[in-house]
Amino acid sequence: MVKEGDKPKIEKINAKEGDNFDFDKVLLVADKEVKIGAPLVEGAKVSAKVLKQSRAKKVIVFHYHSKTRYKKKAGHRQHFTEVEILKIS
């Protein structure tokens, strides 16, 4: 769950830094009362601003089979987008 002003890191989206966009598919809204969607909350919208596009720290994947001289090392850096939540309506 997020609040206005939060800066979560989400899966990469195609937007440039400084762009504003809306999340139309909202599953839950909690103000004074909680509204749970079935499957989505109708009319709910979250406005956000892209702060930066970046990549996470490298994760090392190492495969090893004993007694067969098999070693394989690989790395992966996941792309993410950091956004600021502007308005929840």
In a domain, 1, yes or no: no
Is 67 a member of any domain? yes
Residue 2 lies in a domain: no
> What is the mean predicted confidence (pLDDT) over 11-38?
94
pLDDT in tens, 26-84: 999 998 899 999 999 999 999 999 999 999 999 999 999 999 999 999 999 999 999 99
Q: Is the pLDDT of residue 11 over 90?
A: yes
How far, in Å, are 16, 26, 36, 46, 67 from residue 89 at the CA level? Answer: 23, 10, 14, 6, 60
Predicted confidence at residue 30, as pLDDT, reads 92
- Is residue 60 one of the residues assigned to a domain? yes
Is residue 62, in this structure, part of any structural domain at all?
yes
When divided into structural domains, the chain yields a total of 1
pTM over 0.85: no
**Quick check: is 3 in a domain?**
no
Would 35 be classed as within a structural domain? Answer: yes
Q: Could you tell me the residue range of the domain that residue 43 belongs to?
A: 9-88
- The answer as to whether 4 is a domain residue is no
